[in-house]
Chain A
Amino acid sequence: MDAPRHDNPFALAPRGDNPFAKITDNIARIAEAERPPRAWYIAFGVSLALLTLFLGSLGYVAWVGIGAWGNMMPVAWAFPIVNFVFWIGIGHAGTLISAILFLLRQNWRTAINRFAEAMTIFAVVCAAIFPGVHIGRPWLPYYMVPIPNQMEMWPQFRSPLEWDIFAVSTYGTISILFWYMGMIPDFATFRDRSKTTIRRLAYGLLAMGWRGSSRQWHRYERAYLLLAALATPLVLSVHSVVSFDFATAQLPGWHTTIFPPYFVAGAIFGGFAMVVTLAVPARQLFGLKRIITLDHLELMNKVLIATGLLVGYAYGMEFFIAWYSGSMYEGFTFVNRLFGPYAWAYWTMIFCNVLAPQLHWFKKIRRNPWATLAIGVVINVGMWFERFVIICTSLARDFLPSSWHYYVPTALDYMTLGGSFGLFFTLFLLFCRYLPMVAMAEVKAFHPSVLAHAHASGHAAHSHGEIRN
């Protein structure tokens, strides 16, 4: 139990006579409390207001048409697609933590995987709305689904935009399945602790009669492993497919083979930044400091340094290829990014994504929750600007100088962007209030006492009358 703290992020986990019950109490009391903390109400109020703004601005656009946005040829994609890529990128960390870290046996993930998965799903919800509205007639997105219709037409499967439909909807579905399956044992815990009929009925329906049978656990663990193995290539494929939307176009600044890995690295980077942004207030607010420890934050900050460097490398490599390819247009595009009309956006991106995470090289900053939160927010801003830079600078200066145009978003664009955070945080706060925020069963399974026992030789088992501390 005296292993170095970095190797064992569970060193601080609840101990004592009955650590399992303490873990259960620690997490279940959040959903069982009669009233959440006051900060929850304030945050929920703000989120609801933003959500109202979001629905209002979407409704307005649906009513009057997308001319209300600042999108204007040649910058036809602009804010809606920037927001789409931004949100879908954030939606990568959850499944990465659930699936890839699970396969890599990074057991520290159990403290954060549940709400990272929830965050993923809510981010995908936010992302899915934008292309649906951007098509201009939001009642017709079913055209992109292969269903027999009166026009006797089929969608065109050779288009990356069609791949997107399948990639994002598959990713959303699998993420929800993964999330839900992980919660089944925890729903059962909630059901068995519930004091009111409504809670027992609601959590009972969700738990589907889970009683913790070992024969069931066996299939459950197998299923979890399978889903993790399926979700791992999926999480890497989603942002690759999103990047195809750009890479298969012939626009300078988009037409690059580095896009799929570059987008995936950026998505993990942005997603982890969002996880720390949410984890710091959540552990503070709901008293989870002994479950989501500083060690967990530090590990996530290390992931941020690594992925931040990857993203920085991709920025550099784009410039190298622009020069090395000898393509005049490619070269112009990148010089234009540095010094053109959107240079302010480019340098914001470089500051937020490349320079800011370097602070995490200092251990003091890495282990400081508020610095972690601040850098997380800065990275989120930077990742939004990255998508803005990719989409808007390339489109605004295309092949024909006569059609160049400086894109300026309207107030409605900003309202839609801000409002999407309202949707995200409303869903997230409801999740914190009503669902198991931490995977209780998994945290228990990786409790130091259980691990210590599992690693000790099996023959000594009968000598342990009680849990070692």
Chain B
Amino acid sequence: MSDEHKKESAAAEKKAPLHGLLAEYETPWQLLEAAKKVRDAKYERWDTFTPFPIHGIERAMGIRMTALPWFVLAAGLTGLTTAILLQWWTNAVDYPWIVSGKPFWSIAANVPIMFELTVLFSGITTLVGMLMLNGLPLPSHPLDLKERFARATNDRFFLLIQASDPKFDEVRTRALLDETRPVVLDEVLEDRVTSDRMPRGIIYAIIVLATAGAIPLALAAKARFTKSRDTRLHIIQDMDAQPKYKAQRQNPVFADLRAHRPDVEGTVAVGELRDDDHFYTGKVNGDYARTFPSQVALTDATMERGRERFGIYCAPCHGLAGDGDGMIAKRAEYLASTGRGRGMGWVPPTNLNQDYLRQQPVGQLFESITNGVRNMPAYGPQISTEDRWAIVMYLRALQHKSAAK
């Protein structure tokens, strides 16, 4: 503070009305005793100022318990409710998403975040509530003009009775404080020096920052409600551009310009050679084979395998005995003769025990299974080659059985 400024403020202080009387003590216990006297004298607008909390000052001053814990409790419950609603709504209602078979909503999995949000809300409320109940932040106070008062945050203990107190009487209050034997008893004047207005610089800074802060929001709002032909601004390219050619694209390196290179002629994948016509196609020199290939042994095991596969793939339509009366055929017939399906066309599955099928070479039966016949689909992709031969073997057995009847 410059000297000129000091004089000015001193002149201003002279004119200022009294704010209160300030007593200074050297030790906390002197202050405690003084506080009890002021309390007993029934003053209302007074306070003590100490560098650290004094044990027992609440009782000496008659301070009532603060309501802060109730605010914190309310905030904690709000946090808990927020966590429950947030997790339930996002994970069980708005975007249910199956993860590891866990239920969308269960208390156990959601406890940690309930706990964290309860603590978070309570903690923030504790600090903010403490500051608000204490009337902080408080930029200026008449006591700030007292140079001596700076020791309130260091090593001295102060008691202030405000002039606005209904019981305040300059003479009698001074006498009361004198009795408590303070080191110094002093008048505090109202602050007429410090401007009540916020400094211009701060106001401008707030305006500029608020305006600047609104720009991104405005741009986001504009983007939401307008259309644009420009491509999206893509600051971070992630893996959008990769130095590689995709299938179906052009690649100038090759004469045919195909990026996806065809296999070299004669390429055979491992296990895909299939150079045994009899086994894989059921044909020998272009005619249907009348014998089973050497890979298929006429054993109980093969027959049992064929029975099993026949039951899975063939019996639903052709029936367990191959008579063309499987469950699907029966159901279709029933629907075609009654109710909704009446009059609809239905090609029944073939009765496999007809003569012309009995006389067909096994190679032809094999080929029918592999590639399908009429509206029977191809089973080649579903049933392995060995299993198809096993089915043919079992079918031949069924046909022999029905012929013997």
Whether A137 lies near B238 (C-beta < 8 A) is yes
Distance, CA A83 to CA B130, complexed state (A): 36
Q: Which residues of A contact B26 (CB under 8 A)?
A: 466
Residue A134 interfacial (CB < 8 Å): no
- Asked whether A189 and B153 contact (CB < 8 A) given A212-B49, A214-B63, A444-B52, the answer is yes
Tier of interface size on chain B: 35 or more
The interface residues of chain B lying within 8 Å CB-to-CB of A212 are 49-51, 152-153
- Find residues 24-69 in chain B having any chain A CB closer than 8 Å to their own CB: 26-30, 32-33, 35, 47-58, 61, 63, 65-66, 68-69
Whether B197 is near chain A, meaning CB under 8 Å from some CB there, is no
Is the beta-carbon distance between B124 and A173 smaller than 8 angstroms? yes
The reply on A341 being an interface residue by CB < 8 A is no
Residues of B within 8 A of A152 (CB): 95
Quote the shortest CB–CB distance from A147 to chain B (angstroms): 11
Mask, B86-97, CB within 8 Å of A = 1, is: 110011001101
With A223-B126, A464-B27 given, is the CB distance from A209 to B138 under 8 Å? yes
A240 to chain B minimum Cβ distance, whole angstroms, is 8
Given known contacts A216-B134, A226-B68, A230-B123, A209 and B139 CB-to-CB distance under 8 angstroms: yes
B110 near A192 (CB under 8 angstroms)? no
Please tell me which one of the listed residues B29, B57, B127 contacts residue A214 in the complex, with CB atoms under 8 A apart.
B57
CA–CA, A221 to B56, complex, Å? 13
User: CB-CB < 8 A to A363: which residues of B?
Assistant: none
Name the residue in B32, B120, B149 with the highest tally of chain A Cβ atoms < 10 Å from its Cβ: B120
Distance to closest chain B CB from A233 (angstroms): 7
Q: Is B341 an interface residue (CB 8 A)?
A: no
B99 touches A159 (CB 8 A): yes
Please tell me if A38 contacts chain B, counting CB pairs below 8 Å: no
Kindly state whether residue B109 has any CB partner on chain A within 8 Å. Answer: yes
CB of B299, distance to nearest CB on chain A (Å)? 37
Give residues of chain B (115-160) contacting chain A, Cβ–Cβ below 8 Å.
115-117, 119-120, 122-124, 126-127, 129-131, 133-134, 136-141, 143, 149-155
Please tell me if the beta carbons of A226 and B72 are within 8 angstroms of each other in the complex.
yes
Contacting residues, chain A, for B149 (C-beta < 8 A): 211
Q: Say yes or no: is B259 at the interface (Cβ < 8 Å to chain A).
A: no
B68 surroundings in chain A (CB, below 8 A) = 219, 222-223, 226
A-side contacts of B90, CB under 8 Å = 146, 154-155, 157
B374 within 8 A of A: no
Give A188 to B95 CA distance when docked, in angstroms: 50
**Which residues of chain A are within 8 angstroms of B129 by Cβ–Cβ distance?**
223
Does chain A have a CB within 8 A of B372? no
Interface residues of A (CB under 8 A from B): 18, 20-21, 24, 137, 139, 146, 152-160, 162-163, 166-167, 170, 173-174, 177-178, 180-181, 185, 188-189, 191-193, 204, 208-223, 226-227, 230-231, 233-234, 237, 241, 244, 440-442, 444-445, 450, 453-454, 458, 461-462, 464-467
Ranked nearest first, the 7 interchain pairs of A and B with the lowest CB-CB distance are: A209-B138, A154-B90, A208-B137, A20-B155, A223-B130, A192-B150, A21-B155
Can you list 13 A-B contacts with CB-CB less than 8 angstroms, sorted by A residue number? A21-B155, A170-B117, A189-B51, A208-B137, A209-B141, A212-B153, A214-B47, A217-B52, A227-B123, A237-B115, A440-B51, A444-B52, A466-B26
